[in-house]
Amino acid sequence: MSEPIRRRIVEMLASGEHLSGEIEAVIIHEFGVGRSAVQHHLAILRRLDWVIVRDDWNMRGYRLNGEVVTRLASEVRRIRRRWNRRIGWVDGVKPPAPSKLVLSRKGRRGRGMDPDDPWRVLSD
């Protein structure tokens, strides 16, 4: 879902079924792409089973697959749990500067330290 056009199509389809012509008109107007580009993105969503297609004689209707919405919701819950348990910096507060952090490639060979580790801490 990193592609803005596909995100917009999914956003449109979240409101219900739309005909391919309606989707094309909105995407062409908002993104300035051609009809074939819109059809390309719709084909990707079909191939990934994100949309369900209803073919009538001369019209094609698209709607969002409900299972995808459920999977997205569970993925968001998983990411939210991880976010709530995050470690590290608090928003807006800089971490304290380490006193002996060495960012050079020079090291102490033979003392159990990797000389190529840029984050090693030197002991006195």
Taking the CA atoms of the chain, what radius of gyration do you get in angstroms?
Answer: 25
Residue 124 confidence (pLDDT): 46
Domain chopping of the chain, boundaries: 4-64
Residue 83 confidence (pLDDT): 86
Whether residue 41 has pLDDT greater than 70: yes
Tens-digit pLDDT profile for residues 63-121:
999 999 999 899 999 999 988 887 766 666 666 666 555 555 555 554 555 555 555 55
| Cα(7)–Cα(27) distance, integer angstroms | 11
Q: Does domain 4-64 have CATH number 3.90.1150.10?
A: no
One-character DSSP codes across 42-94? HHHHHHTT-EEEEE-SS-EEEEE-HHHHHHHHHHHHHHHHHHHT--SPPTT-P
Pairing mode of beta strands 51-55, 18-19 = unpaired
Instruction: Please tell me whether residue 32 adopts helix, strand or coil conformation.
Output: coil
Tens-digit pLDDT profile for residues 21-35:
999 999 999 999 999
Q: Specify the pTM.
A: 0.64
